[in-house]
Structures are given as C-alpha cells and as structure tokens.
Structure 1
Amino acid sequence: MNLPTAHPNALARRLTIAAVGLQLLGAILLQLYLISAGPLATLTREAFSRPDMVASTVVNIVVGCILVGLTTWGATQRWLRRHNAGDVDRPGRMVAVLLAVSLVLFVLISTGLALLHHGFYTLIFKHKEWVDQAFGYYGVRRMLLMALPPKLCAILLTILGSWLAVRIAAWSVTPVAATQAPFMQRRHAAWIAALTLLLWQLHVALVVGLYFMNDAGSAGMLEHAIGYWILPALLLALAAWVCLRSLPQALGTAGMGRAIAHGTFAFWLTQVLGIGLALLVLWTMTWSQLMRTAASYTTSVVSVLIYSVLLALSCYLGARLFYRRRTPPELASA
C-alpha cells in the first residue's frame, strides 16, 4: 500500500476518491442524525416529507462532493508540480492522514456552518422590520439575502477545508522525483470543465427552486427528480462529451484554472443565449399564444432540447476561446 504509484496522476486520483468518499459518507450520516436524533428531528422529518426538500438535500450533498473532489485534485497536482515530483514515498500514509484530517475538518466545518446559520437568521429576526423595508417581504432581493450568504460561506469553507487537508497530509510524506510529472490530459480538462458547469447549474437550480418553492407545491417526486437529478446528469454527460471532442490534442501549459474558466464561460454564455432567445420568442407571441404554449408539455421538451444545443455550442466556443490550436512539430517542419 505504501509503494509509490506508477502513473503520474494516480496519487491525485487516490486522494480525490478518498476525500469524496469521506465527504459523501459524512454528509449522509449527518442527515441521518438530523432526522433521527437531532434536536429538531420531528420538524426535520416533516420537512423531508416534501419532495423539494429531498431533491435539494441530495443536490447539496452532490455539490459538496464535487467541490471536495475538484479542490483535492487541484491541490494535489499543484503540490506535486511545485516540488517537481510525480509521487510520494508513502502514498498510503498520505491517504490515511488525509482521511483523518478531513474527518476532523468535516466536523468542525459542519459545526461552524450550523453556528453561522443560527447567528445569521437570528440577526435577521432581530432586525426584521429593517430587513422587510430594505429587501421586501418577497422577491429576488429577499431571496438573495436569505440564500447567498450561507451558501457562499459553505462553499468557501468546503474549499478551504479540502485544500488544508491536502497540505497537512503532504507534510507527512516526502515527494519523489519521477521521469513523468503530473500533467493535464484532455479528458481531465473536459471533465473539470463539465463539473464546473454542473456546479453552476446546480447552484442556480437551488436558488431558482427556492424562489419558486411556493408555486411548486403541486410538483411530485418525479418532477423534482427529473429537474434536480436526471437533467443535470444528462447535461453533465453532454458537456463532458462536447468539451472532450472540442479540445485540442495538446493542451500545452494549460492547467486546472483554464478548465474551470472554460466551464464557467460555457454556463454563463448558455444563460445569456437562452435568455436572449426566450425574449425574442416572447416578443413575437401574443398573450393567448403564450398561455397555450406555457400549458403544453411539448414546450418543456423543446425548451430542454434548445438548452442542450445552446450548452453544446457554448462548450465548443469556450474550447476554441481558451485553448489555442498548435501545429504539431512534425507538420510544422514539413
């Protein structure tokens, strides 16, 4: 178990799998505790009887696992490159230390987030009149006030905890020089871009779902599963496939940051194109036509197909923008 790994990216893969597995297990156990033995177990069980609560909880768990995975992968690769190494002398020990540190940090971060949530909503309750006057009772501003600060704190603490776990685990081993240092492959860049796009997609879905929660009371578990689980999984596969097909054979010195920028650009370009196209369609329709179209299931299917096409186009344009096409040396000399 402590023998150095042969593949230059094997160490990062092992650490990422270990960190994501621990994050997933910890998140599931935490939810089970809140449901069965938590101080508000009865209210929590009642909340989980709603499909939107189940769907959003699963999405939050998946988002946490993706953040941990991307951060662990990137921090490990960066540490190895900085030491001009391809491996460590005792990879098994590094994995064990990473798991131990990640477990401690998971407990600390979960406790800290619970205290932050309590303090934040207590502060809003104490200044309720001012909050109502400044942000309104409903609407986008009130929704952003209630959702964004806790969400941003959770994202930042998760990233910081994963990065810190890798750095502490790295102190327990010695880097080993290798003939082939870790490098960014096309499939790595494609999946990192696709997972980044998925993170944006899921976060926006959670915020929009919170905004329309009162209007979605009639939606069942199947509708929530399609909207929160199935469609994002299909979009992830589509984005990864398009990115992989669009990336050049040689990525040069491109690293993880460029792949993250690629995924971010693709997501927001898709939103801009989608909103622009929707406004154009609405401009050409009468009110009666709009009502008939909104009540049709065919409209939902067509909208998803159009969104998928725009997403694929954005991934392709992002690959052309962020990665230069280089002529192979043998062709250039010819």
Structure 2
Amino acid sequence: MRERLTDTLYGLGWSTVKQLPEPVAAALGRRIADLAWKRRGKGVLRLEANLARVLPDAGPGRLAELSRAGMRSYMRYWMESFRLPTWSEDRIRHGFEPDGLHHLEEALASGRGVVLALPHMGNYDLAGAWVPTRLGVPFTTVAERLKPESLYDRFVAYREGLGMEVLPHAGGSAFGILARRLRAGGLVCLVADRDLSSSGIEVKFFGEAAKMPAGPAMLAVSTGAALLPVTLWYDRSPVMRGRVHGPIEVPDTGTRAEKAALMTQQLADAFASGIAEHPQDWHMLQRLWLADLEPRANDESGTETP
C-alpha cells in the first residue's frame, strides 16, 4: 500500500505540477517545504544533524535557519524536476550556468572519456538535461532500483526523456557498460556522495569517516577517463549555478584499489568544498557518516533520493 501511494504521488507530481505556471509551482514548493520543516520530522532532524558536521560552530538557530533553506532548496529541486519535461531547449540552455566548464570541454576533446561525479546538490537532473542541450553530448548514468517497479520505470522514462541513457544500478553489468562508453570517449555522470554497500570506499568527510561509491574512481582507473567533480547550488535568481572542478588524476603508483581510494578521498574533498560554500543546497536527509549508522534500529534513511 505504501509503495502504491508513493508511486501515485510521484505520478501526480509529473501530471499536475508540470501544468502549473512556474511562479505558482515555485510558491507551492516553498509552502510544502515550510510545512515539512515546521513538522520537525526525521528527515528535517537528520538534515540538521548532517549540517552540524558541515558547520560545527553553528548554533541551533543557525542550523534551523539552514535546514529551512535546505528544505526549500530540496522542494525547488522537485518542483523543477516535475516541470522539466515541459521546458523548452532554450529554457534548459539558460537555466544552468557552470563555472569551470573548460575542464569538461578539454576532457571531452581529448577523447579519453569523462566521468562527472556529483553530490546530492541543487538539481542534477537539470544539469543532466543541460549537457546534451548545451554541449550536444549524450551521456550515460545509473538509477537505483526503486519499489514499486512502476516508480523505477517512471524515473527511467523521465530521465531518458531528458536525453540520458539510464542503466539499472542493480547487478554487475552496469560497470562494464559504463567502461565501454568511456573507452569510446563517452561521458558518464554519477551521483556519488553516499554509499552504504560493502564496496564503498571509506573517506574522511568533514573530519569524520563516511563511505562513498568506488565506481567513479574505479572507472577512471580502469579506462583512463578523466574524473571531474561537479558541485551545484542555487542563488537568488531562477538560474542554477555550478562548478566543474579540476580533474582528479590517477596516481602513478599503487594497486587499483589504492589508487581508487586516493582518488575517492580527493573527490570527497571537492564535494566538501562545494557543500561548505552552499550548505543549504546539499539535500542529504539520510544518515551518511559511519558513526551515525550504528545502531541501525529505527534507521530513518528510508528510500534513497532517486
């Protein structure tokens, strides 16, 4: 029943919100965000606990202010995502302004393949739609298997409609397909700031241990592709901003695992720099640091953000 309700709500979002005028949709998102923030549910409390690690000197008032802004940013992501299928190419092209774009353009021109790795910041779906629209470059990504299956199918159809090739995360075939795309000089985009699997790589993140996916670094090590961190944020305008950070190079020495570990730590450092600058746009409403994962009883993490 809960899975069917979730699928129905997402379906209503795509069928109803995209019909609203943009100012009305934005106001609705802020209203929903403020109501959720006032309820002080588990997601809001977890967001504040995560932000407390990002800004250890922030007092309760500052953390509450940031969490409210964070919920508004999170709901802006959803309102935009529900409406993205209706946006024109011109609207998408002018809806995102990244700094450091030359890092991506130079890496693509080299023909070696590129891995873009992002945290849960801003609207990575908008950034994804912008890439083929603005640069004319298709790319491949992965999607977590969601329940019910119909909800997963909705997200795959939505992202494919934005110009992405979407592979299921489950199973071992995704890595091989991604590697082939990179060896052919292609582009791969992966959200990579949280991994609770046995294959995750432990990093220091804001001074404490956390796990991040091994995939981005392992793909770069295995294929020679460029690994570029990307961070996203909103400013006061309707335009989303972002930064393509400089490439993380494959170390000259060490085993594949050792190289991947060093590169993933550098990736975590790049994410941390972007998150520290724009903490309200980091949509991490789940447990992340290893110290928060024990005991696992009553874990509020729930379903991953798709």
- Do both proteins adopt the same fold according to a TM-score greater than 0.5, normalized to the shorter chain? no
Higher helix proportion, which one? 1
Per the normalisation by structure 1, the TM-score is 0.25
Per the normalisation by structure 2, the TM-score is 0.26
Structure number with greater Rg is 1
